Amino acid sequence: MRLDGLWFGQVAMAALMDVAFAFAFGSAVLGTWLASDARLTVAPGRLAWQRSQRSLLAAVVVLLLADLGWLLYQSAQMGGVRLPAAFALVPTVLLQTSVGYAWSVAFGGALLLLLSALVGPEGRARYLLLALGVLFVAAGKASMGHAADGGVLSAGLGLHVLHVVATSLWGGLVLAAGCAVLPALGASVARGVLIRTALKVSNVSLIALVFVLVSGVFNVERGAGASLEAIQSSIWGHVLLLKLALVALALVFGGLNRFLALPRLRRTASTMDAHTFVNVLYLEALTMIGIFIIAAALSHSAPPLTSMG
């Protein structure tokens, strides 16, 4: 691993991919929850539902562009050339490398997500496209890294796909709700919709977090074994510790909302408590962006066991 401009560019594109995918995933889920509250033009939850649809479309467009940027950086790195010369290598990477195959699956999933955002707000076709899109993006992203070293049908790759889905669901709900959707439910007439949606965000995020932690422990064990020395003496280990610190900070914000702000909001339904919940969620969303950035750097660093062969 060389810490040069190509590496930093590739990590930046990977982080943008992660954030955009999570934002699209979270927006789609929130849009599904808010659909019943937004059927009427004057419904209290209609503005929030509209924001979820717009953020889904915007996030998918960003995801597609970030995918293309990452492929270009990956081609330059694999060919050992400068970025402009990498354009000529893209077809070779796509058609002759496992990374190219994995990228094609992820890009195809992003196209399915784009179709789901364009076909309409509801319906079986949209939900099927969403489900397939999420699965394809997660499988492709997981296959781009070291998790695919054991083969396409390995348990390690399957668990990493689960980790990507769970992380994107947890992070996506926090990002989309805190940055785009829940701030649109600030009016007092929308307080009931806000409380119901906030409760769903909290509950589903908790379930996703359990899967994140379980699959994450496996990934750490696969990368470093049971060796604390391997974590302490490697760049990969240092980046991992930074990621864990940010995860702990996100858990603090999530815990504050779940055990303090949300119960109080359900009791009082006051504007102040509504703002408190949304503001803490926004801080958690900012932390989540940091987690995705560090996770991208981690996925582009060699784990200790891989470095030792």
Contact 204, 252 (CB under 8 A): no
The tens digit of pLDDT for each residue in 295-308 reads 999 888 877 655 44
Contact 280, 257 (CB under 8 A): yes
CA-wise closest residue to 24 among 104, 101, 125, 129:
129
Tokens encoding 275? 């703002």
Interatomic CA distance for residues 168 and 23, integer angstroms: 8
Interatomic CA distance for residues 288 and 42, integer angstroms: 33
CB-based contacts of 162, cutoff 8 Å, min separation 6: 211, 215
The tens digit of pLDDT for each residue in 151-186 reads 666 777 888 899 999 999 999 999 999 999 999 999
Contact 211, 159 (CB under 8 A): no
Q: What are phi and psi of 308, to 5 degrees?
A: -85, 0
Interatomic CA distance for residues 39 and 157, integer angstroms: 41
| Band of pLDDT at residue 62, cut at 50, 70 and 90 | very high
CA-wise closest residue to 60 among 155, 133, 146, 3:
133
CA-wise closest residue to 167 among 146, 193, 198, 141:
141
Cα distances (Å, whole numbers) of residue 179 to 145, 189, 230, 285, 288: 29, 20, 37, 7, 11
The tens digit of pLDDT for each residue in 249-260 reads 999 999 999 999
Helix 46-79 / helix 98-119 crossing angle, nearest 10 deg = 160
Q: Per the structure, how many domains does the chain have? A: 1
Cα first-last separation, the chain: 14
Contact 35, 64 (CB under 8 A): no
pLDDT of 223 higher than 80? no
Interatomic CA distance for residues 279 and 146, integer angstroms: 37
The tens digit of pLDDT for each residue in 200-214 reads 999 999 999 999 998
CATH assignment of the domain containing 79: 1.20.1630
CA-wise closest residue to 13 among 89, 92, 68, 82:
68
Domain ranges, residue 42: 5-307
Average pLDDT of the chain?
90
